[in-house]
Amino acid sequence: MAIAGVAGGFVSSTATVLTMADRAKADPTRTASAASAAIMSNVGTVIQLAVVVGSLSRRLLEHMAIPLIVAGVITVLAGFLASWRSYVTPGEDSPISEKHPFKPATVLQFVALLAAVMLVIAIIRSHLGNASLPWMMVLSGLADVHAAAAAVAQAAATHQIDMGRAMFCVAIAVVVNGIWKCAVAFVRGDHAYGFRVALALLCINGGFGFTIWLGA
């Protein structure tokens, strides 16, 4: 389940949280393992975030290296603690999805979303200025945190914003995306599932945001 959660995170962490919520609701005995898989999907989010940011602004990635590592470590620890028994007890869990993270159609959808969000943010920023970028992160973070981060990294790479503001904007997108995942977990799953996922995301986003603040 944990490995499937990580793989699902490369497709969509939010979709993985939703899928695991449905599984936990259908079979309450698997609430802990489903929550663990949902939490572990954030490993995929962190890795993709590093790849997207690094491909557009290596300097921004260097500034965000420690926050990303902290978020990744907390994710793994939280995923293990959410269902430590499932790691030592054999189970019959099936994959969470038949989707493969690297199917061409999935890659094209991801690239299309990145391009669309980056274009919209660039248009809005050209009219309202860089001061509007943090607010754009709130909206784009709901759609896809990687697209939001890509727009920020592009702006940082072209020296339209400084590293401090860029890191702050990425943190906003990550936190908003985490809040959205919490809402999905509580609405689609039971309270036990929602509590486990929300507590883990609070720790993950808190660690990420705190280290961003220290480095800004």
Q: Cβ neighbours of residue 154 under 8 Å, at least 6 residues apart?
A: 56, 57, 118, 122
Whole-structure pTM value: 0.79
**Would residue 97 count as lying in a domain?**
no
* Predicted pLDDT of residue 101: 43
**Would residue 146 count as lying in a domain?**
yes
Which amino acid is present at 59?
R
Q: Which band of pLDDT confidence, cut at 50, 70 and 90, is reported for residue 155?
A: confident
Given a cut of 60, whether residue 210 has pLDDT beyond it is yes
First to last CA, the chain: 36
What are the distances in angstroms from CA 35 to CA 52, 80, 84, 122, 159?
26, 10, 11, 36, 40
**Would residue 167 count as lying in a domain?**
yes
**Would residue 95 count as lying in a domain?**
no
> Residue-wise over 94-111: b if at least 16 C-beta within 10 A, else e?
eebeebebeeeeeeeebe
**Would residue 34 count as lying in a domain?**
yes
Dist CA 99 CA 74 (whole Å): 26
Q: Structural domain tally of the chain? A: 1
**Would residue 81 count as lying in a domain?**
yes
Dist CA 174 CA 101 (whole Å): 21
Q: How many residues does the chain have?
A: 216
With beta carbons less than 8 A apart as the criterion, state whether 184 and 18 touch: yes
pLDDT digits over 1-56, tens only? 778 888 888 877 888 888 888 888 888 888 888 999 999 999 998 999 999 999 99
Dist CA 14 CA 185 (whole Å): 9
- Provide the domain limits for residue 24: 2-90+103-215
What are the distances in angstroms from CA 191 to CA 7, 39, 93, 197?
25, 15, 22, 10
**Would residue 98 count as lying in a domain?**
no
**Would residue 176 count as lying in a domain?**
yes
